[in-house]
Amino acid sequence: MNQPPQHFYEFGPFRLDAVERLLLREAEPLPLTPKSFELLLALVERHGHIVEKQELMQAVWPDTFVEETNLTKNIFILRQALGEPDDGGRYIETVPKRGYRFVAQVREVREKSEELAATEPVNTQTAVGAEPETNAQTMPPGGYQKPAAVAPISIRPALWRLLAVALGVLLAVAAIISFTRRSEKRAVEIKSLAVLPFKPLNRSQDDEYLGIGLADAVITRLSGAGKIIVRPVSAVSKYTALDQDPLAAGREQQVDVVLDASLWRSGDKIRVTARLLDVRDGMPLWSFQCEELCTDVFAVQTLISERMAEALMPQLTGAERARLTKRYTENREANQLYLLGRYFWNKRTVEGLKKGIECFQQAVDKDPDYALAYVGLADCYLALVFYGEAPQEFIPKMKASAAKAMELDGTLAEARTILASTKVVCDWDWSGAEQEYIRAIEINPNYSTAHYRYAFHLAQTGRIEESLSESRRALELDPTSLIINENLGSRLRNARRYDEAIEQYRKTLEIDPNFLSLHSQIGGVYLQKGMHAEAIAEINKASGGRATAQLGHAYAVLGQKSEALRVLAELRELSQRRYVSPMSFAIIYAGLGEKDQTFAWMERAYQERALEVTFLNRVVAMMENLATR
């Protein structure tokens, strides 16, 4: 019987048998998985040319959904088999953001079947129990004698293939055993986790919000269990790039493990693949995949959260497990709108916050009992007030939303925290706010927002050392948060530890040099130190109404009255177009020594419930400066 023609590719010491599906090194077969072989063949066939990632994935996994990590894993396997570095170069070159190229010189060899048949050894196997055939012409007299030399035994390609598969299975089993042992050994060491935004493989804005929203949902559930520190969504929302290195993100977030997940969306169906990686060495500790396209986003959130908790937090109480699997709404549309609202809220811009309000409002319209959506509304209203929007417009709405969230679910740390913030900003109810902050932290000791807002509250009421302790705890829980880093600097400033405050502000700027409002904070510290020229230089780098007011105050303190009056005129003109806090005028008049105007504008700020009135320590410091003039 004629056999099919043989087809080889030769490069370096390797021979790639395209027919028998074997990779040989100096005639020795190397174990490869079927997909790794297909990937190598696709690269070799196109040697010298860049092969795009999508083209490779289509060639190796036709008509099958896979994530890009499958490609990178198999490239890693090939490089190990070829004996080259992880970053390639000798055989397989990585072309950033595009694909791969096989760069070694390749020789293509085709051999006819007749030629191969002439060299194929004769099969001398017999049935069990049968006598071996003899040939008088080849068998020497007297029976068998050892020949002077024995020709090398040639094993059939099919047997090589079987051996290679068997070796591959053994290696895989050994790897699984090794992974399992290491996972078990390290499970007790896992104290912190970052859940990265789920990467949409068919990318669009809708999928980006869904990716961040799913991460937010998983974070909320795992945080509620209280057994492990989970970085908040505000800390991880920047890691949305498809080529984001999850281990680099984990190192930046200073966590032990990182959840790296991807999603594929088709209409209202999604498919999710997730893996938990040890940040120290990239070892996969746990994985999850929807076997079928999922139509229930709730099920995805619950499954991932519950399975991760089983892997990381095996000793959950009944109450903790209930919080982990709890559904905050049964309305799918409301849930989607909530996820979209959190996506816009995380942008931390006035425009984003207003879009977030629209989404959260639509969510509560769909489900009036959706407590988390009311928390989202209140969070947006609070942020707008902090960003200098009119408090008269947003404070009543914030108060109503926070009260509704608490009415619906007082077991939420998020609801308790926003209620406490409302008591500070809206009611100036210091004791009531403290009770709610303490209760929120009892519910979830790892909720960084509760700690940093409680620190702010403690500073407002003059308990400076306690506020520093809470600030540092918040920073432990969320070390890369700009707001929390700034918060520690401000608490050091309240403690009159000015040099430490400046150092902390500088560290925060290293995280994000575009956080321009920090320059205003640094300038304020320089003013308190009497370093007026340095103060003006820093404040000029900042932007916004409060920075402008602080600049006017600095000019006034320096005796540059004309410059201070110019800034006052700018603020009056700005107030014709948008809200400007009366306290902005008050601090400039305080710098000019005009006491009547200062108190008049402070009274107006009090009547308008301006946020700055709650900054008691700064107001006291300003009045002390005024009294000495």
Q: What is the mean pLDDT of residues 395-410?
A: 93
Q: Which of 193-202, 304-313, 349-358 has the lowest mean pLDDT?
A: 304-313
Contacts of 192 (CB under 8 A, 6+ apart): 228, 229, 230, 231, 254, 255, 256, 257
78/555 Cα distance (integer angstroms): 67
Condensed to tens digits (0 to 9), the pLDDT of residues 569-599 reads: 999 998 888 888 898 899 899 889 898 999 8
Residue type, position 37, single letter = F
- pLDDT confidence tier of residue 133, bands split at 50, 70 and 90: very low
Q: Are 379 and 418 in contact (CB under 8 A)?
A: yes
420/441 Cα distance (integer angstroms): 11
The pLDDT value recorded for residue 66 is: 67
Instruction: Give the CATH number of domain 328-444.
Output: 1.25.40.10
The third-level CATH classification (topology) of the domain covering 6-109 is: Arc Repressor Mutant, subunit A (1.10.10)
Condensed to tens digits (0 to 9), the pLDDT of residues 534-553 reads: 888 888 888 655 788 888 88
Condensed to tens digits (0 to 9), the pLDDT of residues 331-389 reads: 888 988 998 888 888 887 889 999 999 999 999 999 999 999 999 999 999 999 888 88
Q: Are 418 and 405 in contact (CB under 8 A)?
A: yes
User: Does the pLDDT value for residue 33 go beyond 60?
Assistant: yes
Instruction: Give the CATH number of domain 190-320.
Output: 3.40.50.10070
Highest mean predicted confidence (pLDDT) among 23-27, 177-181, 409-413: 409-413
Q: How far is CA 167 from the centre of its chain?
A: 38
How high is the mean pLDDT of the chain?
Answer: 78
Q: What is the mean pLDDT of residues 401-423?
A: 93
Domain ranges of the chain: 6-109, 190-320, 328-444
Question: What does 100-145 look like in DSSP terms, one character per residue?
Answer: EEE-S--EEEEE-HHHHHHHSPP-----TTPPPP--TTTSPTTS--
